[in-house]
Amino acid sequence: MISVDAPDKEKKPASGHRRPAKQALGVVGWQNSGKTTLITRLIPALNSLGLSVSTVKHVHHSIDLDQPGKDTFLHREAGAVDVAMVSDKRWAILHERREPADAAADLPDILRRLSPVDLVLVEGFKSLAMRRIEIRAEGATPISPAGDRDTIALVTDGPVDPALPTFRRDQIEPLASFLADWVRAEVLAS
């Protein structure tokens, strides 16, 4: 399981836990299975239960939030490792990965860089060993092997898995309550 202690012990997540541990939970499924839709519906439901949430999204294509010719682009081209873009409403840090293109992203390092929250929902990274929920379209091949201890729940409109807590796609509030209980149990156990 991936759990990262926040470096700033003075900040508290919304739930008020004394020790702001970031619990990371994968949301895995095949392409177009509904991972993003599920996450965008879960976030407000988890917020309403008092949990603060961040997300990490694994993408399979090149990303660039910057524009050629802009100052921050020139900073990166000149060799800066990190470039912060800051405005009155938001900020972003662009980190230039210098590893080979096929090197896996270092999820624990990324999690350490996020603000202290109760739960980080990680979309993708399906081959990484971490606690996760699987979203499975009816008739799709399971990602998680039978008996996988990392998978804590299944979201599907297909057959129910008797070995896992199973939720239908429209059961957002029950799933959010299940996840809130899981987060609280993980924090108490750590």
At 36 the three-state DSSP class reads helix
pLDDT at residue 129, as a whole number: 85
Average pLDDT of the chain is: 82
Q: Which residues of the chain have pLDDT under 70?
A: 1-21, 60-64, 99-104
pTM: 0.80
For the chain, the structural domain boundaries read 3-58+105-189, 61-102
Instruction: Give CA–CA dist 22/24, Å, rounded.
Output: 6
Q: What is the pLDDT of residue 27?
A: 95
pLDDT value of residue 69:
84
Half-sphere exposure for 118 (CA within 13 Å, toward CB) = 23
Beta-carbon contacts of residue 57 (< 8 Å; ≥ 6 apart): 36, 123, 124
State CA 157 to chain mean position distance.
23
What is the second-level CATH architecture of the domain 3-58+105-189?
A: 3-Layer(aba) Sandwich (3.40)
pLDDT at 6 (0 to 100): 42
Residues 131-164 have pLDDT tens digits of 999 999 888 888 887 778 899 999 999 888 888 9
